[in-house]
């Protein structure tokens, strides 16, 4: 990572994404928080409420790990996180998901936003069957050239601090992620989707600045925990 900006999340190589709408035992949560991961990101595409976020945050707060909220709806922007991500979907024709919901939310909550720990994420959503793709009507069938254009738009023109390649529910095409890595100049590159093994974690870590591990936490915790070392062991 060369010449990139220092931010509250710029040192993150590995993060777990936890869904406030899903259940985790205390023991599982402790293992996740004590795993050596750089951060926990709280967020989900459905069933997210102020109450279930407060609940999950208070449980994570017993540990020292960084904890950020991905704000999918400003109504559920719970105070007390170390930082806040505001996702924008880049590959949709529906401006609702680019800046529509965001400006609507800012009218009500804009004066409460802790801007110095708030960052926009430019999502490129690439798995057609994912909840987020359906919700946002993302145009997931993109050529490499189309992905590059979205990255140039977001990284060079909009100057979004983060580009997030999202294959939620499936492991993505690493050739696409590699192309994005070569294209991006200033933004931090997040990758998420389908990481359920050391092997996949290592592959994604080759190209992404930050590897996000989600669903496998709920289906195979030991496999999820093993991704931490796989990513952090990457040599730079």
Hey, which residues between 102 and 141 contact a second copy (CB under 8 A)? 102-104, 106-107, 110, 113, 115, 118-120
84 carries a ligand binding annotation: no
Query: Which residue in the set 1, 58, 73, 95 belongs to the binding site for a second copy (CB under 8 A)?
Result: 95
| DSSP secondary structure code for residue 112 in this structure | G
Q: 188-192 and 210-213 as β-strands: parallel, antiparallel, unpaired?
A: parallel
Query: Using an 8 Å Cβ cutoff, are 74 and 48 in contact?
Result: no
Q: Which is nearer to a second copy, 55 or 186 (CB)?
A: 186
Considering the complex, what minimum distance in angstroms separates the CB of residue 146 from a second copy?
6
User: Site mask, a second copy, residues 71-90, x = CB under 8 A?
Assistant: ---------------x-x-x
192 carries a ligand binding annotation: no
167 carries a ligand binding annotation: yes
Cα 14-57-136 angle, rounded to 5 deg: 70
Q: Which is nearer to a second copy, 104 or 233 (CB)?
A: 104
80 carries a ligand binding annotation: no
Helix or strand or coil: residue 55? Answer: helix
Considering the complex, what minimum distance in angstroms separates the CB of residue 115 from a second copy?
5
**Dihedral angle computed from the Cα positions of residues 192, 194, 196 and 198, in that order, rounded to the nearest 10 degrees:** -60
Which of 21, 101, 32, 102 minimizes the C-alpha distance to 67? Answer: 32
17 carries a ligand binding annotation: yes
Q: How far is CA 198 from CA 41, 204, 227, in A?
A: 20, 10, 5
Q: Which is nearer to a second copy, 86 or 228 (CB)?
A: 86
Which of 23, 12, 20, 36 minimizes the C-alpha distance to 225? Answer: 36
Hey, which residues between 182 and 221 contact a second copy (CB under 8 A)? 185
Contact residues: a second copy, CB under 8 A: 86, 88, 90, 92-96, 98-100, 102-104, 106-107, 110, 113, 115, 118-120, 145-146, 148-150, 152-154, 156-161, 185
């Amino acid at each position: 990572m060369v010449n990139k900006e220092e931010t509250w999340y710029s040192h993150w190589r590995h993060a777990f994404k936890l869904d406030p709408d899903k259940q985790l035992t205390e023991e599982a949560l402790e293992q996740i928080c004590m795993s050596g991961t750089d951060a926990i990101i709280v967020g989900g595409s459905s069933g997210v409420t102020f109450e279930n976020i407060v609940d999950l945050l208070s449980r994570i707060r017993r540990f020292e790990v960084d904890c950020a909220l991905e704000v999918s709806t400003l109504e559920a922007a719970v105070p007390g996180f170390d930082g806040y991500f505001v996702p924008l979907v880049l590959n949709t024709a529906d401006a609702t998901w680019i800046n529509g919901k965001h400006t609507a939310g800012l009218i009500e909550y804009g004066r409460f936003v802790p801007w110095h720990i708030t960052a926009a994420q430019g999502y490129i959503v690439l798995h057609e069957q994912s909840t987020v793709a359906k919700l946002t009507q993302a145009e997931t069938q993109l050529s490499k050239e189309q992905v590059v254009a979205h990255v140039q738009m977001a990284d060079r023109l909009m100057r979004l601090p983060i580009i997030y390649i999202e294959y939620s529910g499936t492991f993505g095409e690493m050739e696409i992620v590699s192309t994005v890595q070569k294209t991006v100049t200033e933004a931090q590159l997040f990758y998420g989707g389908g990481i359920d093994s050391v092997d996949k974690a290592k592959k994604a870590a080759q190209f992404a600045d930050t590897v996000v591990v989600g669903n496998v936490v709920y289906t195979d915790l030991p496999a999820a925990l093993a991704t931490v070392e796989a990513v952090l062991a990457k040599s730079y």
